[in-house]
Structure 1
Amino acid sequence: MRILNARRLGGRTAFSALVLLVTTAILAGCGTVEGKPEAGELDIRKLSVGKYPIDPLDVRALYIHSPSSGLDLAIGRLADAVVTGPDVDQSFSHGVLSEAMDVSVGLGLVLSHTAEPVAERNNMMFGYTASASTKPISDVRDPESSLVFSPFGHMKPAADATSFNITVLQFPDQQRALTAAEQMEAADFDVAPDQNQRVTLDKEPAAKAHWRPGVPTMGTSMAHGQYVVTVFVQQPNPEVVSLKSLTEKILAAQLLLLDQLPALSPRDMLRLDYDPQAMLRRTLHPVTFPYPHAENEVTRTPRGFLHNVEDQAKWKTLLDDNGVDSTATTRNGALLLRARDDKAAAALWSGITSAATTPTDKPSDVPDTACEETGNNPKPHRIDQEEAWDRSDRFVCTLHYNRYVARVAGTQLADVSQRAAAQYALLVTSQYT
């Protein structure tokens, strides 16, 4: 309300009249309300959160940039630009393997032992690898998997499935990327030079590919700017035409994403933001300091998130239908998904919880929460399982608040209930701090 200058109303008399008029109007608008007033929000002080913090991490601790943290953030950024199965074709419905890669770890998981020294010799900076299949892949390790090249982490695809692995590595400059791509292909080819045959991809003539007649697989390496992309495809029948076609389709999708991802310098990596979407501050974080990790403490786009789930087709539908634009996981903490709006978050929560096969008791004091007993304790194929948010996922609780859906897990239901309460409280407090 705008208060007029008393002089314009004729001095003290006019001003007194104005005050009387305003006071009368205010009193006229007031009434007597019986009963005790209540807050619109749940009183989170009454929630049973146990030892878990309910203040955002950036209120409790300061993130300090470092080369090692920058490396993990860079790998997480790259994961957002590595194709998933559905990016290539809807038939690739199952994620198989994903792994952060640097010169100290990860290379030997999928790259041939002949390619490892090539990457190191050309000063590979970091990378990311992911696989997808048209059918689930057994958690059982394949003892017959080649020690030369194990694109599915020594797991064995179904005989009637089509599967692929894609690995993207960044190098310091374009020349070293080109050299690395050529040397990797040559090293792989020379493992069996009398049996392998070189293959030219019509749509990507710069790529270097080879296959072995009678074997239903093909390997390809190519440089793209400062990146090297390697692709391994496997299908039921040893048909070189279809192997070439699938490889070209994967490369087309992957190169388009890399065109939108400028390569990073060491200085760029050092300056990467720990929490650019303000997601990690909203995610349950039992540890008392920020600890970036490319797999277990990082924010990701929906694409990056899909690398870490098995049923990619189901999750992609849930994410797309509800406008999820960002995700976060914290070490030993929680998973957080940000939907389009409150209504979409409720729909996402329903979509996730309706698939539960063994519902169990939920915490009575936490609204919009559902819990289940998964029977997986832990998932035997999960890399870094001991640090993942669902590392001991016998019990999982899913809750939603405003735009956010969160999941917490643990071995004991009482502990998971406290985690759910703390996560709910954190979503409330992070609005105001």
Structure 2
Amino acid sequence: MLSRKYRLAAVAIAAMLTAGCGSELDGAAQPAEIDVRTLDVGKYSTDPLEVRYTYAPDLSNRTQLSMMRLAGNIAVGPEIDPRFTYSATPIPVPYAHTASRVLTPDAAAALDRNGLLFGYAARVSDKSFEKSGNPSTGSTFIDLTVMQFPDEETAARSAAETDAIDFAVAADANQPVILSKYPGAHSHWRPGIATIGSTLAHGKYVVHLFIGVAEPQLDQLTALAEQVYAVQLPLLDTLPPLSREDMLRLPYDPDGMLRRTLNPNGLGAPNVTSQAVFGLRGFLHQSTDQGYWNRTMNDAGVDRYSISDYTRLFRARDDGSARKLADVALELSFPGAAAVPGGVPGSSCGEKTNSAGYSVKRFRCVLVYRQYVATVESDQLADAHQQAAAQYALLANSTW
């Protein structure tokens, strides 16, 4: 046992060390880290999201979380074939009527009648998409939609009805097509037109394909449809379907990504397009150049990605991988030079040129904190600097 004198000395030394190095609470600096309380964060909060927002499961929230989960098991272009390097904006399907964006409009009634729970549509091509989102002339493209239904019976009925409705749009010209490797798929094409539609029930899931090639060659269309099914169906086998009760029990932010993502308004309701967490596939569906970002993210070991409006957060393999990812985060869309925010270690900023990327914001800043890489965007560079400072401070304040 230590004497009282030595116990008091130990307490005094511990107190001095704490005062010198700070604690992880309230943004105090750790050894070799800055004191984030000195950063110019402007109006932005540096508190983790749960301090300002409490998640409450409801019908809308459960559907948004279900679509995020599904997006992680929908094939991306390079998985199907390395030539499919480009992507268009994915289309979430929270309700039957929203499916009209990817299916024949009249199919919505059939989906609703069969109790569609949710869906998600991804689009890839061997050429970059037009600004309108349409495939480029002469491209080979794939529209891949996956939907989940309450049971296998409603899924099978929906697949058959969806194809029949689409076939009837041009019943005098369309012809049925049999896929030799997937005879249960409902498929058709119009001779002379370089596209094919195919719908297949797979357990409680329905997979719908709309595929186009450069020339109206049926053998190319059927081979590509079978190739997509060969990649997509095993991914669904690893994703247990959800009941309505399961959907309500989905975790909101199990990896703590959203709590670390700058959220100026403190509004945390899940939204698959603006307040969401994904794995790598979910990020790639939202990337216009999947080939480039697939290589880049795999090199960095990125396994989680979150988005809150214009803020993005990536979790890399380790600190070194995060720094390498940050080095290339501006190259494609923000190649113009821009001043860096003062006091934010290892940060960089870029300006969007007229021809670069699809972002509507002018400036982007990138920062690294341990294994996390974040990007913030604004039309005003000073505002982007304050966001970057706030995001860095938030990451430091979210280590507990």
Q: TM-score if structure 2 supplies the norm length? A: 0.90
Q: Distance in 2 between matches of 1:354 and 1:370?
A: 11
Displacement, 1:322?
1.0
- Tell whether 2:233 aligns with 1:255: yes
Q: Distance in 2 between matches of 1:231 and 1:339?
A: 33
Counterpart for residue 283 of structure 1: 261
Counterpart for residue 49 of structure 1: 41
Question: Alignment partner of 1:130: what SS?
Answer: strand
The unaligned stretches of length 5 or more in structure 2 are 11-19, 22-28
Q: Distance in 2 between matches of 1:94 and 1:56?
A: 35
Provide the aligned length of Structure 1 versus Structure 2. Answer: 383
Within the candidate set 298, 305, 308, 1:320 is matched to 298
Counterpart for residue 24 of structure 2: none
RMSD over aligned Cα atoms: 2.4
Counterpart for residue 407 of structure 1: 375
Displacement, 1:290?
1.8
Q: Distance in 2 between matches of 1:316 and 1:376?
A: 25
Displacement, 1:205?
1.0
Amino acid corresponding to residue 43 of structure 2 in structure 1:
K
Q: CA contact under 8 A between 1:377 and 1:393: conserved in structure 2?
A: no
Question: Alignment partner of 2:329: what SS?
Answer: helix
Q: CA contact under 8 A between 2:148 and 2:241: conserved in structure 1?
A: yes
Displacement, 1:178?
0.3
Amino acid corresponding to residue 369 of structure 1 in structure 2:
S
Within the candidate set 386, 391, 397, 1:423 is matched to 391
Q: CA contact under 8 A between 2:257 and 2:306: conserved in structure 1?
A: yes
Displacement, 1:158?
2.2
- Tell whether 2:102 aligns with 1:134: no
Counterpart for residue 98 of structure 1: 90
Q: CA contact under 8 A between 1:283 and 1:333: conserved in structure 2?
A: no
Q: Distance in 2 between matches of 1:211 and 1:97?
A: 25
Counterpart for residue 25 of structure 2: none
Question: Alignment partner of 1:287: what SS?
Answer: coil
Alignment of 1:225-244 (within 5 A): 225-244=203-222
Q: CA contact under 8 A between 2:86 and 2:125: conserved in structure 1?
A: yes
Q: Distance in 2 between matches of 1:363 and 1:221?
A: 51
Counterpart for residue 150 of structure 1: none
Amino acid corresponding to residue 239 of structure 1 in structure 2:
Q
Counterpart for residue 87 of structure 1: 79
Q: Distance in 2 between matches of 1:261 and 1:209?
A: 25
Within the candidate set 119, 123, 127, 2:115 is matched to 123
Counterpart for residue 146 of structure 1: none
Deviation per CA, 1:323-347: give whole Å up to 9, x if none. 11111111x3510000000011011
Displacement, 1:284?
0.5
Deviation per CA, 1:33-64: give whole Å up to 9, x if none. xxx98953201111011111111111233211
Counterpart for residue 341 of structure 1: 318
Deviation per CA, 1:232-291: give whole Å up to 9, x if none. 110111111111110001111111111011111111111111101111111101122421
Larger radius of gyration: 1
Q: Distance in 1 between matches of 2:331 and 2:135?
A: 29
Q: Distance in 2 between matches of 1:102 and 1:179?
A: 19
Question: Alignment partner of 2:214: what SS?
Answer: coil
Within the candidate set 51, 58, 64, 1:66 is matched to 58
Deviation per CA, 1:96-124: give whole Å up to 9, x if none. 13011122653121111121211111111
Counterpart for residue 26 of structure 2: none
Displacement, 1:354?
4.5
**Equivalent pairs: percent with the same residue?**
40
Q: CA contact under 8 A between 2:96 and 2:108: conserved in structure 1?
A: no
Q: Distance in 2 between matches of 1:104 and 1:176?
A: 14
Q: Distance in 1 between matches of 2:307 and 2:355?
A: 19
Question: Alignment partner of 2:143: what SS?
Answer: strand
Question: Alignment partner of 2:51: what SS?
Answer: helix
Q: CA contact under 8 A between 1:201 and 1:209: conserved in structure 2?
A: yes
Q: CA contact under 8 A between 2:40 and 2:386: conserved in structure 1?
A: yes
Deviation per CA, 1:110-166: give whole Å up to 9, x if none. 1111212111111111100010000101113xxxxxxxxxxxxxx432222111100
Amino acid corresponding to residue 408 of structure 1 in structure 2:
V
Question: Alignment partner of 1:286: what SS?
Answer: coil
